[in-house]
Structures are given as structure tokens and as C-alpha cells.
């Protein structure tokens, strides 16, 4: 990672950077400064006076802890988000801030331990902070990045929830609309895909991704897989790229990466989708709604 501590997104894709961070189980902050259009890389390096909002992605043990977007890192904390939603009155926030300052664990976690904020609410904050930002980060086509393994972790902004860098890549790349910049990094039509492991390790692949993965036995070319599945070649190349990016498959002739653990991503939604809504809930709600009809 040291040699990759900074560079341009034209040289390294975010997927590659995230992967390195995951593989090295790195701690630190990755800053990404987007640049629209094709600006000469050397000029970008010189011109540091321009103020451009950056993304700051905090990692702990190779997992995404929080993402901050703004001009200057460090001025966002969870308590501000909590206050904005009026979950806790201002006086109490001030008090909490004093009690929390200096702690070296995610503030969200501490607030949960103190039973001041529920997991549902933490999850919502994490969704806002991380999941909704990921799609945007993987849209960035030009820019520079910098990984600072010595950056102080910003505990005040962390919920304590996290997402493996690998899953972040999967989610981010699925949301990608413009693949043109990555074209030369996609697996070639003639190349073969080989699974890195015989198991999906609990990763939640989309239908097409799963089908491609099943055929990735090192025997069929990307072209043949596309024909067999009746999918567009570009689509299969993109899926192949996603699978390779998260280490589930690799292009044959490339040194295989070790099998990896995939963690189910944290998702939007305060309620638990696995728990059925009770009849009591539904009847009570119907009663309430009937009153609204006046």
C-alpha cells in the first residue's frame, strides 16, 4: 500500500484501491478529490490552492466505517446529524459531547451502549453516511486519491457499523452508470474466468452475477459465457470485473488471490425485513388510518 499512498484515478481504479485496503486490513483515511473533465494530472498536483470538496472514507481493519464529503475533513460528527433530526435536545447534546470527547471508540457505539440512540437510528445514519455516498464515489471518473494510514480516525462521526471494503466495491460498482473509463480494465472477451473458491462465502450476488460465477471454472471464455447465458458481452465483462474486483473470480493467468470472507452489507430500512409485521400492528394501523379519513 505504501507505494499506492497517492495517485490518480486514471491510474488506479477505486476498486483496486479498496481491495488493497481490504487485503491489508488497513486502518486509515482515503481521500478522493473528484475532478470533472480531463485535467492534466501534473497540473492537478501543482494546483493545490483550488478548494474542491472531497470524499473522506475512513477504514478500520479494511472495513468502511464512515464516509464524509466536504471541503474540510473533521467538521462532521454524528451528534450534528442527531441534532438535525431532533432526536436529542441541544442541551443534552452539549453534555454528551463533553463526555464523549477523547474516547477512542465510535461515538455511535458509545451512544448505543448508553442506550441514548437505538440501533435502527444508527443504521439510518450509516445508510446516509455510507451507502448513499458509495454510489456517488464509484461514479467519479477523474480525480486524485490519497490514503493516509496514519490519519487519526474520526470517532465522532462513526456509528460503529461498518461494511467490508470488498462489499463496498460490489455495491459501488453495481451502481455504476458510465463504464467507459474502465473499459481497458474489464476482462477481455477471449479471457477465461476462474473462481477463486468453490464457495460464495455468503456473498449476496445478483442473479446474473451468480450465473457468471457458476460458469467461471477456467474453461469458458467471457464470450462463451455471454453466449451461454444469453447476456450481452459488455454486461458479462462488467460482471466479470465486479467478481474479479471483489476477489471471487480472477482472469486466468493472473495469480489467484486467496479466498476471502464476504460480509452481508448493512442495508437501508429501520425495520427488520426478516421479521413479519404482526397482526396487532396492522390492525392498529388500520384503526389509525380510518381516523385520518375524518
Contact residues toward other proteins (CB under 8 A) are: 84-89, 118, 120-121, 124, 128, 131-132, 135, 171, 174-175, 177, 206-207, 265, 267-273, 276-279, 281-286, 288-290, 292-294
| Beta carbon of residue 89, minimum distance to other proteins (angstroms, whole number) | 7
DSSP H or E run through 84: helix 78-84
Give the C-alpha separation, 120 to 129, whole Å.
14
Residue 63 near residue 130, CB atoms below 8 Å: no
Nearer CB in complex with other proteins: 88/223: 88
Comparing CA positions, the residue from 214, 143, 203, 215 lying closest to residue 174 is 203
Nearer CB in complex with other proteins: 171/225: 171
Burial of 151 (0-12, 13-18, 19+ CB in 10 A): middle
| Beta carbon of residue 284, minimum distance to other proteins (angstroms, whole number) | 6
| Beta carbon of residue 223, minimum distance to other proteins (angstroms, whole number) | 26
Nearer CB in complex with other proteins: 61/175: 175
Nearer CB in complex with other proteins: 49/276: 276
Nearer CB in complex with other proteins: 124/140: 124
Instruction: Give the largest Cα separation in the chain, rounded.
Output: 70
Residue count of the chain, please give it.
Answer: 294
| Beta carbon of residue 249, minimum distance to other proteins (angstroms, whole number) | 19
| Beta carbon of residue 204, minimum distance to other proteins (angstroms, whole number) | 9
* 267 grid coordinates: 442495508
Question: Can you tell me whether residue 39 is helix, strand or coil?
Answer: coil
Give the C-alpha separation, 249 to 139, whole Å.
23
Give the C-alpha separation, 58 to 230, whole Å.
40
Amino acid at each position: 500500500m505504501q507505494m499506492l499512498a497517492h495517485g490518480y484515478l486514471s491510474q488506479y481504479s477505486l476498486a483496486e484501491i479498496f481491495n488493497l485496503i481490504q487485503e491489508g486490513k488497513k486502518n486509515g483515511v482515503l481521500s478522493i478529490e473528484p475532478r470533472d473533465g480531463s485535467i492534466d494530472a501534473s497540473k492537478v498536483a501543482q494546483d493545490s490552492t483550488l478548494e474542491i470538496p472531497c470524499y473522506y472514507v475512513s477504514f478500520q481493519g479494511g472495513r468502511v466505517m464512515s464516509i464524509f464529503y466536504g471541503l474540510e475533513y473533521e467538521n462532521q460528527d454524528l451528534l450534528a446529524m442527531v441534532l438535525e433530526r431532533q432526536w436529542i435536545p441541544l442541551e443534552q447534546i452539549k453534555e454528551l459531547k463533553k463526555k464523549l470527547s477523547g474516547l477512542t471508540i465510535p461515538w455511535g457505539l458509545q451512544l448505543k451502549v448508553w442506550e441514548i440512540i437505538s440501533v435502527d437510528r444508527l443504521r439510518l445514519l450509516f445508510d446516509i453516511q455510507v451507502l448513499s455516498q458509495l454510489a456517488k464515489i464509484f461514479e467519479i471518473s477523474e480525480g486524485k486519491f490519497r490514503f493516509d494510514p496514519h490519519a487519526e480516525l474520526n470517532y465522532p462521526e462513526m456509528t460503529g457499523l461498518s461494511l467490508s471494503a470488498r462489499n463496498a466495491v460490489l455495491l459501488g460498482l453495481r451502481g455504476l452508470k458510465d463504464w467507459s473509463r474502465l473499459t481497458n480494465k474489464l476482462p477481455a472477451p477471449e479471457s477465461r474466468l476462474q473462481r477463486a473458491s468453490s464457495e460464495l462465502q455468503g456473498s449476496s450476488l445478483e442473479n446474473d452475477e451468480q450465473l457468471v460465477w457458476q460458469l467461471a471454472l477456467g474453461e469458458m471464455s467471457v464470450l462463451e459465457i455471454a453466449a451461454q447465458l444469453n447476456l450481452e458481452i459488455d454486461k458479462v465483462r462488467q460482471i466479470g470485473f465486479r467478481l474479479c474486483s471483489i476477489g471471487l473470480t480472477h482472469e486466468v493467468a493472473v495469480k489467484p488471490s486467496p479466498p476471502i470472507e464476504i460480509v452481508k452489507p448493512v442495508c437501508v430500512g429501520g425495520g427488520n425485513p426478516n421479521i413479519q409485521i404482526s397482526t396487532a400492528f396492522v390492525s392498529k394501523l388500520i384503526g389509525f388510518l380510518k381516523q385520518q379519513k375524518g
